[in-house]
Homo-oligomer: A and B are copies of this chain.
């Protein structure tokens, strides 16, 4: 669907309004009428921008939340070129998830659209981008002679992604960032040795 600049802005306003609402509400109970009321849009507008209805809107909100996961780590994640930069990134990841606590807007949303085409891709695309940033950071550190050249950067970047995902999962069940911090600190320590 081709949209005018104004159309794109309206569509984005609906997505962001829905995202904000879904962060504080149980996603399974939220209806399109709730979203309409909150974003001050008509039924016609919602279906104009999201012809497939709730599932399509929720998937777009999930994509928006996935983008935020990465944005919340910037500018650190995109410039892992010194040890202080790695520590700032580490702190930004821990702070982000500590603030989120046991809740996980992205996970909850994806649970609602699990059978929607494209839902599985949201996480895959996000983790691929995330991992590529970490991989680029390791390569930059190797180019600067700060990380040993024989280290397999791709594999260690994969370990970071696994460690963060698992740390966040542990946070969701324990309410504590301890595992997330243990994973990040151990892997940064591994880069340094």
A interface residues (Cβ-Cβ under 8 A, vs B): 120, 123-124, 127, 155-156, 158-159, 161-170, 173-174, 178-180, 182-183, 185-187, 189-190, 193
Copies of this protein in the assembly total 2
Q: Which 10 A-B pairs have the closest CB atoms?
A: A166-B166, A165-B166, A158-B182, A162-B166, A159-B186, A162-B183, A162-B167, A190-B190, A162-B179, A159-B183
* A189–B148 CA distance with the chains assembled, in angstroms: 14
Instruction: Known contacts A162-B166, A166-B162; decide if A155 and B124 are in contact (CB<8 Å).
Output: no
Q: Given A124-B174, A174-B124, A190-B190, A183–B169 Cβ distance below 8 Å?
A: no
| Closest B residue, CB atoms, query A174 | B124
Rounded to whole angstroms, the CA-CA distance of A60 and B187 in the bound complex is 36
Residues of B within 8 Å of A123, CB to CB, are 173
A173-B123, A173-B124 known; A180 vs B193 contact (CB < 8 Å) = no
